[in-house]
């Protein structure tokens, strides 16, 4: 019979523990809502759109594969960091520097990479997300180009973890800004490289197919237009870009895929195709708008 | 009175242990194992948690924009060396099925997809006679 009071105590302890988590969540929520009024849309919807946005690293690999030479002059200077004095500007430039770091990594420009990592760490610290960067480990990897795979893996994981953490902490607005900055920088580099290589069809197509990503970015920013004037202003700029993209066409033709198994991996043969219709004038106008938006962000 | 207290105790224990059963899935260990299993030449992009909540969820879905001219690899890791009945299926933006990892009753642990059509793709994980309803997955790319 002595087990009964013991059991009740046990249930009581479990009940107390299980009620602790919502309290903590409510506390954190309270802290965050004090900073930014939340969007009208659910965090789950925002997270599901955020996760669709591809990594800017894909564009850096495309640039390298196309034979384009490394050009540091295309990137935002790591020394500009002192200009970024609000969470809005810090989060946008965190994304910009993240893309620049990926670009230096892909081109194995490790010394430049260390400078970007240092600026990223400082911005992240200011946004209370600096715990995701172990500068010592990254610096050690960056000193040897043989460690490139590990360096890319760690930096990609860090940015993924930051995005997840910000969403969990109900600070998805910062995640949206970081992704927007990262995407803008990748677009800027691609447009500038395309300007120098106007005959490169792959680059033009890459610029054209960003219409899909831009729609996502615009949608994400629109969730904050009522609660955040900075994001509303950025949305306005992005909508101008979206207007230019209206005449860019993506034509898809679906055909069932086939597959074969090679060494335990299912290799799909995609029989569908897509064609991207974009003019030189479109590319130049997109480049011009991107330059203008980026200038506002990095200056 | 004693009977009532005993009932509360039994019910309490039931909730305690059922809660533990649902909380047992630790997808991180599987995502961590999956990333190094991406084939050589593929760059890591994303890891996905597959938590079927002990069978309460029938599918887990993520989405990502795939780009024409890029090859993607999706792999699945679960307990042991098997996929524990976890099936990954890929759908295009119009919900046409592009691939599924279950073929002739066999569960394939990795899909390589050279993309010809830029657009949003849905990566769906389902459970087919799964014992743990728990796993992880990694997405990588190469040009």
Query: Is B22 an interface residue toward A (CB < 8 Å)?
Result: no
* Main-chain phi, psi angles of A260, to 5 degrees: -145, 155
pLDDT at A139: 84
3-state helix, strand, coil in chain B (%, to 5): 25, 45, 35
Beta bridge mates, B113: B72
Lowest-confidence segment of A45-54, A76-85, A136-145 by average pLDDT: A136-145
Average pLDDT over residues B86-106: 95
Q: What is the mean pLDDT of chain A?
A: 88
Rounded CA gap, A234 and A289, in Å? 12
H-run or E-run covering A240: helix A229-245
Cα torsion A214, A218, A221, A225 to 10°: value is 160
Interface of B with A in 109-128 (CB under 8 A): 109-120
pLDDT at B13: 45
Interface of A with B in 187-206 (CB under 8 A): 202, 205-206
Rounded CA gap, B28 and B32, in Å? 6
Lowest-confidence segment of A28-32, A55-59, A271-275 by average pLDDT: A28-32
Half-sphere exposure of B1 (CA within 13 A, CB side): 2
Rounded CA gap, A116 and A74, in Å? 14
B103 contacts in chain A (CB < 8 Å): 259, 261, 266
CB pair distance less than 8 Å for A8 and B115? no
Q: Is the pLDDT of residue B27 over 80?
A: yes
ipTM given for this complex: 0.84
Average pLDDT over residues A184-212: 96
Residue A193, token pair as written in the block: 């490289």
CB pair distance less than 8 Å for B115 and A270? yes
- Min Cα distance B35 → chain A (Å) is 9
Nearest in space to A141 (alpha carbons), one of A156, A153, A132: A153
Best mutation target, A159, A259, A273, to test chain B (most B CBs within 10 A): A259
pLDDT at B6: 53
Polymer length of chain B? 143
Q: pTM of the full predicted structure?
A: 0.85
Lowest-confidence segment of A16-25, A59-68, A122-131, B39-48 by average pLDDT: A16-25
Q: Is the pLDDT of residue A119 over 90?
A: yes
DSSP string covering A6-24: HHHHHHHHHHHHHHHHHHH
Q: What is the mean pLDDT of chain B?
A: 88
Q: What percent of chain B has pLDDT over 90?
A: 80
* A163 — pLDDT class (breaks 50, 70, 90): very high
Rounded CA gap, A120 and B20, in Å? 39
- Min Cα distance B138 → chain A (Å) is 11
Q: What is the pLDDT of residues B39-94, one digit of tens each?
A: 999 999 999 999 999 999 999 999 999 999 999 999 999 997 789 999 999 999 99
pLDDT at A138: 86
- Min Cα distance B79 → chain A (Å) is 18
pLDDT at A142: 84
* A146 — pLDDT class (breaks 50, 70, 90): confident
3-state helix, strand, coil in chain A (%, to 5): 70, 5, 20
CB pair distance less than 8 Å for A272 and B92? yes
Residue pair B109/B76 in contact (Cβ under 8 Å)? The answer is yes
CB pair distance less than 8 Å for A209 and B67? yes
B96 contacts in chain A (CB < 8 Å): 254, 256
- Min Cα distance A33 → chain B (Å) is 27
Q: What percent of chain A has pLDDT over 90?
A: 78
CB pair distance less than 8 Å for B143 and A48? no
Q: Residues near A175 by Cβ (< 8 Å), separated by ≥ 6?
A: A50, A91, A162, A163, A166, A167
CB pair distance less than 8 Å for A274 and B68? yes
pLDDT at B16: 43
Cα torsion A145, A149, A151, A152 to 10°: value is 120
What separation, in Å, do the N-terminal and C-terminal C-alpha atoms of chain A show? 74
Average pLDDT over residues A151-178: 94
* A298 — pLDDT class (breaks 50, 70, 90): very high
Query: Is B81 an interface residue toward A (CB < 8 Å)?
Result: no
Q: What is the pLDDT of residues A4-56, one digit of tens each?
A: 454 444 444 434 344 334 444 444 444 443 455 677 788 889 999 999 999 99
Name the maximum alpha-carbon separation found in chain A: 87
Per the rule left: phi > 0, alpha: psi between -120 and 50, beta: everything else, A170 is left
Rounded CA gap, B83 and B77, in Å? 6
């Amino acid at each position: 019979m002595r087990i009964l009071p013991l059991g009740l105590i046990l249930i009581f302890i479990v009940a107390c523990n299980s009620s602790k988590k919502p309290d903590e969540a409510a506390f954190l929520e309270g802290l965050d809502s004090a900073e930014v009024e939340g969007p009208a849309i659910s965090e789950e919807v925002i997270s599901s759109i955020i996760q669709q946005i591809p990594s800017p690293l894909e564009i850096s690999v495309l640039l390298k594969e196309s034979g384009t030479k490394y050009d540091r002059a295309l990137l935002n200077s790591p020394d500009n960091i002192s200009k970024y004095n609000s969470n809005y500007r810090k989060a946008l430039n965190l994304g910009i520097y993240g893309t620049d770091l990926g670009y230096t990594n892909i081109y194995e420009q490790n010394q430049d990479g260390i400078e970007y990592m240092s600026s990223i760490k400082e911005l992240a610290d200011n946004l209370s997300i600096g715990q995701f960067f172990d500068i010592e480990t990254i610096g050690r990897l960056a000193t040897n180009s043989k460690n490139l795979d590990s360096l890319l893996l760690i930096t990609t994981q860090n940015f993924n973890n930051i995005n997840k953490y910000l969403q969990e902490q109900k600070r998805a607005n910062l995640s949206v800004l970081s992704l927007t900055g990262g995407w803008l920088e990748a677009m800027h580099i691609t447009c500038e490289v395309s300007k120098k290589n106007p005959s490169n069809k792959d680059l033009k197509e890459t610029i054209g197919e960003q219409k899909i990503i831009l729609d996502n970015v615009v949608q994400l920013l629109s969730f904050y237009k009522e609660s955040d004037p900075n994001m509303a202003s950025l949305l306005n700029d992005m909508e101008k870009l979206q207007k230019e993209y209206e005449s860019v066409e993506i034509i898809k033709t679906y055909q069932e895929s086939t597959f074969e198994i090679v060494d335990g991996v299912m290799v799909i043969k995609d029989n569908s195709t897509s064609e991207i219709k974009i003019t030189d004038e479109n590319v130049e106008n997109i480049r011009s708008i991107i330059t203008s938006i980026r200038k506002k962000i990095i200056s | 009175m004693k009977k009532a207290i005993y009932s509360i105790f039994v019910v309490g224990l039931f909730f305690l242990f059922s809660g533990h059963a649902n909380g047992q899935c630790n997808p991180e260990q599987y995502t961590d194992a999956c990333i190094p299993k991406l084939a050589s030449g593929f760059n890591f992009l994303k890891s996905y948690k597959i938590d079927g909540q002990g069978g309460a969820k029938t599918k887990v879905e993520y989405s990502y924009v795939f780009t024409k001219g890029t090859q993607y690899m999706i792999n699945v890791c679960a307990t042991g060396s098997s996929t524990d009945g976890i099936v990954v299926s890929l759908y295009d933006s119009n919900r046409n099925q592009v691939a599924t990892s279950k073929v002739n009753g066999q569960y394939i642990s990795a899909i390589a997809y050279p993309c010809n059509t830029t657009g949003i793709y849905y990566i769906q994980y389902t459970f087919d006679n799964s014992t743990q309803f728990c796993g992880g997955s990694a997405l990588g790319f190469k040009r």
